Amino acid sequence: MGLRLKFNLVLVLVFLAGFVAAGAVSRQLLQDNARDEVVRNARLMMETAGAVRNYTITQVQPHLLKQLEEVFLP
């Protein structure tokens, strides 16, 4: 085995190790970002649902209670 072949094999192995390491790091970063985005969207939906509930209780329910005294609304 010549010196040039040995050098090329070592160089290929180093590049492959670098690609594997970069792939593992980027995969972890992408998963973390995706998880954070899902949590952020879930929090936004929960806050929206809470706001709608609060609006319904404070603004809509009093009007419905007045109407329910007169006629049943199924």
**Domain assignment of residue 13, given as a range:** 7-68
Count: domains in the chain: 1
Q: What's 16's DSSP letter?
A: H
- The answer as to whether 26 is a domain residue is yes
Tens digit of each residue's pLDDT (9 = 90 or more) over 17-69: 999 999 999 999 999 999 999 999 999 999 999 999 999 999 988 888 888 77
- The answer as to whether 64 is a domain residue is yes
Its pTM surpasses 0.75 = no
- The answer as to whether 13 is a domain residue is yes
d(CA 31, CA 6) in angstroms, rounded, equals 38
- The answer as to whether 73 is a domain residue is no
d(CA 34, CA 71) in angstroms, rounded, equals 50
